[in-house]
């Protein structure tokens, strides 16, 4: 995992801007160099450039899933992440936005990427803005991002940006890919600077189902943290909804 900090003397007016925004890249590429990582890097760099132009500081952490493959497989079987995998999960929990990039194999997203998603708590990505990206050896797989990645992140209740990214070998020199990267990065930055994701998580958190003592930053870790008077908890205890 690598970190890059972009300091700036300017500040935007929201409370969320008092500390640098935290971007986390998740790449499931296994080759070196990896086109999957390259696509994620291009989207991340464009996002950083736009944030910097807006006077917003940011940090970037990169999670290479290839180096965590053994721990991911063990966690899928045992249900308990190893130390390095847990550190990666905590990075995502603390992230303000995620850039997720996977290769396409046999008309589907990488099994490594899907297995990593399987070990994440269901509430870890609630209302986090996400850029979705994929690479493949042929343009015939161009719809995999929207057909497989987007439903996955919808289940995790993240906020994928409207523009998805896909690159086949013939796309790398294309101005169309550059335009899509800029558009996706712009959408991500606008979501971040608006604070809508943070507002959703802050105001609607108790309405979602959560894993007690999980990895999400707002998760309940002790009985005193649990609000037993929410509609969900009242229904779970055999009661009814509160009358409005």
pLDDT value, residue 5: 45
Query: Is the model more confident about 205 or about 6?
Result: 205
pLDDT value, residue 235: 72
Predicted structure pTM score: 0.80
Average pLDDT over the chain, rounded to whole? 86
Fold of 3-204: Rossmann fold (3.40.50)
Query: Is the model more confident about 227 or about 123?
Result: 123
Instruction: Kindly tell me if the per-residue pLDDT of 36 is higher than 60.
Output: yes
pLDDT value, residue 58: 97
DSSP β-bridge partners for residue 63: 26
Cα gap 62→81, rounded to integer Å: 18
Please give the structure tokens belonging to residue 9: 């003397």
Cα gap 113→28, rounded to integer Å: 6
Q: Is 79 left (phi over 0), alpha (psi -120 to 50) or beta?
A: left
Cα gap 17→107, rounded to integer Å: 40
Q: What are phi and psi of 30, to 5 degrees?
A: -115, -10
Q: What are phi and psi of 58, to 5 degrees?
A: -150, 150
pLDDT grade, residue 221 (50/70/90)?
very low
């Amino acid at each position: 995992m690598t970190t890059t900090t972009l300091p700036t003397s300017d500040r935007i007016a929201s409370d969320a801007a008092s500390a640098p925004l935290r971007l986390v890249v998740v790449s499931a590429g296994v080759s070196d160099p990896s086109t999957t990582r390259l696509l994620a890097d291009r989207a991340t760099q464009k996002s950083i450039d736009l944030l910097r132009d807006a006077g917003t500081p940011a940090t970037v952490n990169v999670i290479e899933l290839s180096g965590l493959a053994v721990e991911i497989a063990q966690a899928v079987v045992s249900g308990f992440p190893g130390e390095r995998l847990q550190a990666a999960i905590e990075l995502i929990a603390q992230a303000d936005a995620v850039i997720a990039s996977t290769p396409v194999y046999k008309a589907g997203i990488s099994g490594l990427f899907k297995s990593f998603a399987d070990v994440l708590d269901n509430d870890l990505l609630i209302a986090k803005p996400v850029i979705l990206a994929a690479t493949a050896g042929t343009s015939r797989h161009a719809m995999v991002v929207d057909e497989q990645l987007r439903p996955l992140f919808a289940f995790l209740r993240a906020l994928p940006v409207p523009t998805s990214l896909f690159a086949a070998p013939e796309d790398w020199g294309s101005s169309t890919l550059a335009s899509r990267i800029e558009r996706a990065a712009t959408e991500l930055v606008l979501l971040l600077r608006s604070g809508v994701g943070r507002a959703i998580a802050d105001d609607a958190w108790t309405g979602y189902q959560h894993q007690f003592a999980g990895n999400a930053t707002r998760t309940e870790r002790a009985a005193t943290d649990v609000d037993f008077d929410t509609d969900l908890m009242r229904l779970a205890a055999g009661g009814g909804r509160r009358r409005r």
